[in-house]
Amino acid sequence: MPDSDQPTAVRLDGKVISEQVRSELSQKVAEFKKNHPTFTPKLVAIQVGERSDSSVYIRQKSKACNEIGISFEHIQLPDDIQQAELDTHLDKINNDPTIHGIIVQLPVPDHLSTKHIVHSICPEKDVDGFHAENIGHLSKRATEPFFNSCTPMGCIELLKRYDI
């Protein structure tokens, strides 16, 4: 029989928390749309190449957006695209007022510069929170980034929901 003074383990169920968060976000998005009927939030995900693991992540993002009421567009680009052509796509998306968030699915092929790509995304639309401006705001703690990196925020949210 285990000693009652021993701490017990708690299984953190990310799937359950994810469902709760999506439900809450769905309500918030619906309320926002109700108050702003001409506004439709939109996320664009750019994928360079056809990595199967990246395709899975893109499908998960599309599903999440659909569940919470956010428009989603997947832009599939060939793996031999040149940096200048990718920059043209990013410039167009950055300057499109109907697009509110951008994700470039990483990794990208070796001939492209991840650093350049990350810094080419407008910080206000950088959903991954990788742009130096967003990271700088986060590290200062005196100002808020436009977006936080999602994986650490997801971990923090999971811990908060379990009162850890």
- Catalytic residue numbers read 61, 105, 128
Distance CA 163, CA 158 (A): 9
Residue 159 tokens, joined: 């811990």
| Phi/psi at 115 (5° precision) | -60, -45
Distance CA 94, CA 125 (A): 7
Q: 43 near 127, Cβ under 8 Å? A: yes
Long-range Cβ contacts of 24-30 (<8 Å, 24+ apart): 25/68, 26/67, 26/68, 26/69, 29/68, 29/69, 29/70, 30/69
Q: 142 near 112, Cβ under 8 Å? A: no
